[in-house]
Amino acid sequence: MLSLLKISDALSAFVVAIGRLASWLFVPLAAIIMIDVVWRVWVGSNPALTSSWFHRNIGSTKLQEMEWHLHAALFLLAIGFTYLKDGHVRVEIVRERMRPRLRAWIELLGCLLFVLTYCYILLDFGIDFAQRSYRTNEISNAMTGLSERWIIKSMLPLCFVLLALSAISVALRHLVYLFGPPELRRRSGQFVEVDHLAEMKQETEEEIAAYQAALRKNETGRAKGP
């Protein structure tokens, strides 16, 4: 049982590491949009720039295609990660009143029946989808767009590989919770023993307390001043 939990942890660590890395894509995404907008305004005011290297070789089309590439990569790499962070929306109204064991059963069956079927079908067709793009050397429809479409298209099957790994990790965890020894229950029950609302409350309260502490420090600082 302990080894199952260790496998679960390892899978989880892998998906989380990729998710954390992918979350940094927000920075280039925002930066590229900014560059695109600023550049367009600048070129508008200074037509001589249309003959510059940047305009001829990068230009707005490539930047904008890069924007949706980054956006798509970002959310596709984040979906499995979000599951492990328990960030996917649940309808709490009935779940709230369930016993943890029942919740664990639902989680286990959900992973096996829903997520893994879902992943299987989308991988079956998604891998083919990306391969086709690679074989035909697919490029953008726009004359000045990006080439190598297979890169972004292979993010789709990758998303479902990561999601399948997270589902396996979650399923193993609940297997241990349901059938394992009681001493492992605390380590395996973070999905079913957690009250989401209470967690949210605690986090927000901590932030507000930190803010108020900063404010008070500021005020006493001012009172001591001249």
Partner 1 sequence: MTFLEILPLLMFGTLALFIFTGYPVAFVLGGVGLGFALFGDLIGEFRYMQFFSLPLRIYGGTMENMVLVAIPMFIFMGTMLEKSRVAEDLLYTLQILTRRLPGGLALSVTIMGTILAATTGIIGASVVLMTLMALPVMIQRGYSIPLATGTIAASGTLGILIPPSIMLVIMADLLSISVGDLFVGAVIPGFMLSGFYLLYILGIGLVRPAAAPPLPADVGPDSHGELAILVIRSFIPPVLLIVFVLGSIFGGFATPTEAAGVGAVGATLLALANGRLTYRTLREVCVRSAVTGGMLFGIFIGATCFSFVFKSLHGDRTIIDLVQSIGLGPWGVLIALMALVFVLGFFFDWIEITLIVLPVFAPIVALLDFGAHIPVRTDVLYWFAILLAVNLQTSFLTPPFGFALFYMKGVAPPEVRIQDIYRGIVPFVLLQLIGLGLVMAFPELTLWLPRVLLN
Helix/strand/coil percentages in the chain, nearest 5: 80, 0, 20
Residue 30 contacts partner 1 per CB under 8 A: yes
200 part of the interface to partner 1, by CB under 8 A: yes
Candidate segments 2-10, 49-57, 112-120, 179-187, binder of partner 1 by CB under 8 A: 112-120
- Report if residue 11 touches partner 1, rule: CB under 8 A: no
Region near partner 1 per CB under 8 A, out of 7-15, 45-53, 75-83, 177-185: 75-83
139: helix, strand or coil = coil
Between vectors from CA 127 to CA 123 and to CA 147, what angle results, nearest 5°? 140
Residue pair 78/23 in contact (Cβ under 8 Å)? The answer is: yes
List 17, 142, 208, 213, residue binding partner 1 (CB under 8 A):
208
In the complex, minimum distance from the CB of residue 189 to partner 1, in angstroms, rounded to a whole number: 15
Burial class (CB within 10 angstroms; exposed 0-12, middle 13-18, buried 19+) of 130: buried
Out of 4, 14, 82, 100, the only residue in the binding site for partner 1 (CB under 8 A) is 82
CA angle (17 as vertex; 11, 22 as ends), nearest 5:
130
Q: Please name which of 78, 108, 80, 79 lies closest in space to residue 191, comparing C-alpha atoms.
A: 108
Question: 6, 49, 50, 87: which one contacts partner 1 (CB under 8 A)?
Answer: 87
d(CA 75, CA 221): 44
Contact 156, 126 (CB under 8 A): yes
Coil/strand/helix, residue 61: helix
- Looking at this protein, which amino acid is placed at residue 50? T
One residue of 43, 58, 79, 178 binding partner 1 per CB under 8 A:
79
59 binds partner 1 (CB under 8 A): no
- Identified binder of partner 1 from the candidate list 57, 88, 99, 181, rule CB under 8 A: 88
Residue 194 found at the interface with partner 1 (CB under 8 A): no
Which lies closer to partner 1 via its Cβ, residue 1 or residue 131?
131
Residue ranges that bind partner 1, judged by CB under 8 A:
19-20, 22-24, 26-27, 29-34, 36-37, 64, 67-68, 71-72, 74-76, 78-79, 81-83, 85, 87-95, 98, 103, 106-107, 110, 113-115, 117-118, 121-122, 124-126, 129, 152-153, 155-156, 197-198, 200-201, 204-205, 207-208, 211, 215
